[in-house]
Amino acid sequence: MLVLVCVCLLVPVEARANDGGWWDWLWKWDAKFMGVNGEIHLLCLDKSGNRLPGCESWFKNVGRGMIGKKPRISVPAEDLKHQIDFRFGYYWNHGPRYDAPDPPTDGKLRALKLMATYTFHKNRYVAFTGGSGLLPVWGDRFDGELRGILSGGMLFHIPKAEWLTVRPELSLIPGGFTGADFGDPGVSWAHDNIVNFSVGIGIDLRRIR
């Protein structure tokens, strides 16, 4: 866990919904994916629907960290209720591409996750998330494929260590993929309407005391 936390701190990505970075694992493609994920805050609202200033402060907080100062809390956790963000992530596979025995099973796969997301903060420890967007995929033996993606999940701040966050999430990729899509027409592997489970671990710069 300590190694993963250090990785999250060092990954040079934009802010997630908590002004930190994410390290994600994804399953259900057969090929196992991992990657980095982040979000840029577009709008923050309180429980009355009033806009909260300072919604995006990642660049400011990183700058403060570079000169040895603590991150500045731009939006207090107790005030934040609704949030709209732009999420982006970069993923890569490790291990075989397919669970089928048909060769070839090797080859690199890369993917981007580009989404608009909404987060409802139930309290300072629990939030519900959802979003939709595009999933470009490319790799060895094929130029690229584009799919839509829908997702929903939860965001947890760990009590007594609120700077550490965990985000389990389910995503739907309508249409799915086949071996031919990945440049392997001789492979029988195919999945329609992929339901994908992911787990993300992140750092909340605004809750580091």
What is the reported pLDDT for 48? 94
Confidence of residue 51 (pLDDT cuts 50, 70, 90): very high
- Least reliable range by pLDDT among 4-18, 20-34, 134-148: 4-18
- Map out the domains of the chain as residue ranges: 2-207
Q: What percent of the chain has pLDDT over 70?
A: 72
What is the reported pLDDT for 163? 82
Buried b or exposed e, range 10-47, using 16+ CB within 10 angstroms: ebebbbbbbbbbbbbebebbbbebebbbbbebeebbbe
So what's the architecture of 2-207 in CATH? Beta Barrel (2.40)
Q: How many Å apart are CA 118 and CA 139, to the nearest integer?
A: 30
Q: How many Å apart are CA 111 and CA 138, to the nearest integer?
A: 6
Average pLDDT over residues 146-168: 93
Average pLDDT over residues 107-132: 95
Q: Is pLDDT above 80 for 124?
A: yes
Structure pTM?
Answer: 0.77
